[in-house]
Amino acid sequence: MSTTKEVKDKLSTKAKGGIKPSPYKNVQDLLKRMAPEIQRALPKHLDADRIARIALTEMRKNPKLLNCSHTSLLGAIMTAAQLGLEPGALGHVYLIPYYNSKTKSMEVQLQIGYKGMLDLVRRSGEITSISAHTVHENDEFEFEYGLNEKLRHIPNISQDRGEITAVYAVAHFKDGGYSFLVMSKGDVEKIRKRSKSPNFGPWVTDYDAMARKTAIKQLCKYLPISVEVQKAIAADETTKRGISQDMVEDIPDETDWEVIQADYEGVPDEDETNDNEETKNVEVEKVEKAEVTSNSISTVKKIYRALESVSKDEKKRKMDEIKEKYNVKSLALLSEEQAKEALKSLE
């Protein structure tokens, strides 16, 4: 098993000819150097070259991954490979970049997608079929738990189905039995908000699929599935820093699950606003140091400057409106697109 130090040591080569290599080239070189060790940790049907291609493709699609620690990037790729799931267009797994306040660095978290979760559950051998569906406000839907359980859903395909109101998952067993679980949209939202990517990534681009995946994951707690499948599902939303032949068991989850507060290190405390120039400069300086917002930080600074001309109460009111609109604890947690939209609303 490679430690974080060993991986970093292999990265400490000097740039040729005095030219600093690009982050992409750094990762490309790392994958080449680590190929023998990666191969030893992979299932027999996979090879290190394929894993390298997958990693490089994901970084081209999402350059934010280049800002993440190489150990967590490798850990996410290796975990996905050992689970038999691949990042990409199929939506089996997603690589999510986020700021980890425990390690004070950008890290990669592995998130299993809807299709990946279906694939894992079906491997148990005890489930003949499993599916999940979203319920909309114009659908016909009723369910009942208890001694006479029932579930009835007729989607309204003749007109606009309206907003999502619930999601449910159903599993049928080999012995003819079945089990189902229904979640309200509020239940799904509570889980989304605890995610490391509530306002970007698959929860924004593929909300329906993530809602269905959430229902399946919750239903799995009550299904007769193997220990191996349970271990695989446990790898969802984990951050791994290292390489092992058993990523799930051997490498601990390094995800920072603390609730992000507005005044954590590196992010300005927006409730303690002050109109004097010294405090304003300190706020801007704090934002400049916030690694978590490296892609939207310049726009966030412009928002602060745009609010300098208003009163303290008005400034707080506008900040609260922006945070409520985008469901974030701090302006510094806005995505680049959200920050630009918020700035435009102030102009």
Contacting residues for 165 by C-beta, under 8 A, at least 6 apart: 135, 136, 137, 141, 184, 185
CA nearest 299: which of 331, 269, 273? 331
Contact predicate 280/274, CB 8 Å: yes
CA nearest 8: which of 59, 55, 74? 74
pLDDT at 308: 78
Q: Is 100 helix (H, G, I), strand (E, B) or coil?
A: strand
Q: Label residues 78-91 b or e (16+ Cβ within 10 Å = b).
A: bbbbbbebbbeeeb
Burial status of residue 143 (CB atoms within 10 A of its CB: 0-12, 13-18, 19 or more): middle
Query: Greater confidence, 139 or 270?
Result: 139
Contact predicate 162/136, CB 8 Å: yes
Q: What is the mean pLDDT of residues 284-307?
A: 54
The C-alpha R_g of the chain, in whole angstroms, comes to 23
pLDDT at 201: 77
CA nearest 78: which of 27, 130, 41? 41
Angle of CA points 60, 254, 269, to nearest 5°:
85
Residue 52 binned pLDDT confidence (cut-offs 50, 70, 90): confident
The DSSP secondary structure of 206-253, one letter per residue, reads -HHHHHHHHHHHHHGGGS---HHHHHHHHTTTB---SB-S-HHHHSPP
Contact predicate 182/212, CB 8 Å: no
Domain assignments of the chain as residue spans, ordered by start:
4-112, 125-224, 277-346
Residue 292 binned pLDDT confidence (cut-offs 50, 70, 90): very low
Task: Report the alpha-carbon distance of residue 283 to residue 266 in Å, rounded.
Answer: 10
Above 60 in pLDDT, residue 287? no
Above 90 in pLDDT, residue 152? yes
Q: What is the mean pLDDT of residues 153-179?
A: 91
Q: Is 313 helix (H, G, I), strand (E, B) or coil?
A: helix
Task: Report the alpha-carbon distance of residue 150 to residue 18 in Å, rounded.
Answer: 70
Q: Is 51 helix (H, G, I), strand (E, B) or coil?
A: helix
* pLDDT tens digits for range 198-225: 787 788 888 998 899 999 989 988 888 8
Picking from 64-68, 210-214, 284-288, which range would have the lowest pLDDT averaged per residue?
A: 284-288
Above 60 in pLDDT, residue 51? yes
Residue 153 binned pLDDT confidence (cut-offs 50, 70, 90): very high
Longest dimension (CA), the chain: 75
Contact predicate 76/109, CB 8 Å: yes
Task: Report the alpha-carbon distance of residue 110 to residue 73 in Å, rounded.
Answer: 9
Task: Report the alpha-carbon distance of residue 37 to residue 40 in Å, rounded.
Answer: 5
C-alpha neighbours within 13 Å on the C-beta side of residue 262: 15
150: left (phi over 0), alpha (psi -120 to 50) or beta: beta
Q: Is 2 helix (H, G, I), strand (E, B) or coil?
A: strand
Task: Report the alpha-carbon distance of residue 98 to residue 77 in Å, rounded.
Answer: 16
End-to-end CA distance of the chain: 54
Query: Greater confidence, 271 or 257?
Result: 257
Picking from 156-170, 310-324, 330-344, which range would have the lowest pLDDT averaged per residue?
A: 330-344
Picking from 3-7, 172-176, 241-245, which range would have the lowest pLDDT averaged per residue?
A: 3-7
Contacting residues for 157 by C-beta, under 8 A, at least 6 apart: none
| Mean pLDDT over each residue of the chain, to the nearest integer | 77
Angle of CA points 225, 231, 232, to nearest 5°:
90
**Is beta strand 164-173 parallel, antiparallel or unpaired with respect to 178-184?**
antiparallel
Q: What is the mean pLDDT of residues 234-241?
A: 85
* pLDDT tens digits for range 297-334: 567 777 877 887 788 788 888 888 888 787 766 676 67
